[in-house]
Amino acid sequence: MAKFDFLSDLNQPWHHLPIEQVLTALASSMEGLTYVNARQRLRYLGANKLPRSRPMFKIWLQPFLNPLTYLLFGVAIYLQWQGAEGWILLLVGAMHGGFGIYLTAATNAIKEQVLRDRPQRRQHEPSNSVMVLRDRETLELPSRDLVIGDILLLQAGDRPNVDLRLVESSADLIVNQTNLGGEAICQKQADLICDLKTAPLDCGNMIWAGTEITAGNAKGVVIARGLLTKEQAALNKEQPFSAIHSELRQLRQLGLGILILVITTVNGLSWQRGITLNLMIASALVISTYPKNLLRLATYVQLLGMRDLAKQRLWARFPAVLDAIGRVTTIVPIVESDVVLSFDELSRGGISWRALIRASEDDAQAFGQVIGIETHSYFAGAQERIRQWQGDRRRASVAVIGYDLEDISLLRAADIGICDRNCCKELQDSAALILPKEDFHYLPIAILEGRAVFDRLQRMVTLSTVSALTLAIVVLMDAAAGFSVPPLQLIWIGAIATPIVAIPLVREPSHQQLLHQPAHRFQTMLRSSNYIRISLAVFATVTAVCLVFSLKYQGQAALLSQARTMAFVTLGFSQIFHACAIARQSIFQNLPLLLGVSAIALCQVLFVQVPWFSDILLTVPLNGVEWAIAILSATAVFWVQELLK
């Protein structure tokens, strides 16, 4: 098959080449490929189809493609060889790696389920059969048998799943490119030769996969198929990380910087005392404070929100839409004179309404005074108005509700384009959120779900951040006092107990009260109120741990083990009380959280009272009074959160 090696390098400017040169480069002709040549190319290239989902073996291999995995292996083996508990690092790493694999698999499953509920799904799918030229004959073939160099015949209504360079076209050929972010009416012509730097959607001699022939007929040569088409590149580009993903990345980088600073400081304190920093403690601190699977969890929660909306017949185009709709502060419908707006419920949540109307600016102003919202002319710089509203508030988003074909440009200019299922499919291809029908009462449902997604992730991140900062400060204070925190206690609190009580928070149902809270609370996690909340929670937890330790220790070496154990109990139960304080519903209504809290409480008792566990975690049994003092001290973070409410 060496004669088909040229098919593996097809990154050429086909739009800039004459038709004869394109056919020559693809070893094809106007009469089409021969049967034998086409069959050989099909065996060489494989079937023309997209993978239905990510193969499971790639998901399982994912942790082994991360260099940090091998770093963890090396550190664990070295520590085990040195007589430390390196096995626990491998165990925790495997646990979080397995959870990451589960999240990836669950995300793929939810994504497929949501796509099955997509409106007008059949209209978005290409036909299973196509008309091609083979040996000068017109044949109907399955689309999966198309190969590079095939001559494809197209007519009105066809949606090809391959990229084509036109070789013949009728004078009335029109292509709809809205599904790729282009215009609904694009005239195409085969004998054009476009400039080398022409944007793909502006190439008048190309037809891309995912577009639709609106009128006319054409003949084109296949230049790309499968994952190599512009449609797949556009889908990847059109699904960027949401704003909340960017914030989580910033938090992760900030956490890593703080972690490096803490380890460096602890090393300096130990060096002053003539002690070498214990590698096991440093490793335990890293694995118990570094945020793991954070971005995967964010995507997973957003997809759960998409699925919940789909059950109510609201369809979001991408997971990032849930984040954008949760941050919305301005809704701009394109209204008619007889429109009925209902915005009282959203106004209480800090969301303002503005409108565009197809009338003069004077008439728009007069109409706005009648309906009570700011209204402007659709024809007087509507896109500039939208950009102005977008710049009014930082990180806020503007939603535009359109109904007609000419509204496509405004939907794309907005952060969120909205339409309903009764609109034309070109408009639906350009919209980020599709409502079941023309009814503003569906908007609160979508906004509530977007805010709920943000709120779930925010509470999970808050709990994890408080735990990580608390452990870092405890290690610093222990190093300054000349003590050494048992590494396994750090790993249990930060890498096991905290995720067990934090993850159930992302599965809580949407709380109706979120819709009435100020919009600024859902713009960003990186705001001063959150910093204050986290700081107070960390202060309360660290103070409780220090008080318990100091009251029991009192400078007596014989009581060090009891004091350390009581501090360990206080740390463990602080995670429980913190999770209960920030949960949106009662712990008895959240079964995963109830099971997690019960498991952590039971393990804390076992780790202290059972000799085998106490030998591993370096704890000693406590009496009833000591248990009561430690647990009551752990409630400090609960009362701080209640006061903040």
Mean of the per-residue pLDDT values for the chain? 86
The rounded distance, in Å, linking the Cα atoms of 350 and 330 is: 9
- Mean pLDDT in residue range 556-566: 90
pLDDT above 60: residue 308: yes
The answer to whether residues 485 and 588 touch, using CB atoms and an 8 Å cutoff, is no
Domain 2-34+146-236 has CATH 2.70.150.10: yes
Please tell me the predicted confidence (pLDDT) of residue 11: 77
| Structure tokens given for 335 | 């209204």
pLDDT tens-place string over residues 174-231: 998 887 777 777 899 888 889 888 888 889 899 988 888 888 999 999 988 887 787 7
Q: Which amino acid is at 561?
A: S
Which range, 65-74, 280-289, 451-460, 580-589, has the best average confidence (pLDDT)?
A: 451-460
- Tell me the pLDDT band of 481, cut-offs 50, 70 and 90: confident
Proportion of the chain above pLDDT 90, given as a percent: 31
Which residues, including other chains, have CB under 8 Å from residue 525's CB and lie 6 or more apart? 244, 247, 248, 251, 457, 458, 461
Q: Residue 194 CB: number of other CB atoms within 10 A?
A: 18
- Mean pLDDT in residue range 597-626: 93
pLDDT tens-place string over residues 37-51: 888 888 888 888 876
The answer to whether residues 320 and 301 touch, using CB atoms and an 8 Å cutoff, is no
Give the β-pairing of 186-187 and 174-176.
Answer: antiparallel
| Structure tokens given for 41 | 């190319």
The rounded distance, in Å, linking the Cα atoms of 198 and 185 is: 18
pLDDT tens-place string over residues 234-291: 665 545 568 888 899 988 888 888 888 888 887 777 676 655 557 888 888 889 998 8
pLDDT tens-place string over residues 91-115: 998 898 889 889 888 888 888 877 7
Please tell me the predicted confidence (pLDDT) of residue 391: 78
Identify which of 11, 29, 33 has the alpha carbon closest to the alpha carbon of residue 21: 29
pLDDT tens-place string over residues 325-381: 999 999 999 887 666 666 566 778 888 888 899 888 888 888 888 888 888 998 888
The answer to whether residues 248 and 308 touch, using CB atoms and an 8 Å cutoff, is no
* pTM of the predicted model as reported, rounded to 2 decimal places: 0.84
The enclosing H or E element of 467 equals: helix 443-481
Identify which of 341, 338, 337 has the alpha carbon closest to the alpha carbon of residue 359: 337
Q: Would you call 614 helix, strand, or coil by DSSP?
A: helix
**How far is residue 413 from each of residues 181, 384, 433, 467, measured CA to CA in Å?**
11, 9, 14, 41
b (16+ CB within 10 A) / e for 384-393: ebbeebbeeb
The rounded distance, in Å, linking the Cα atoms of 204 and 604 is: 69
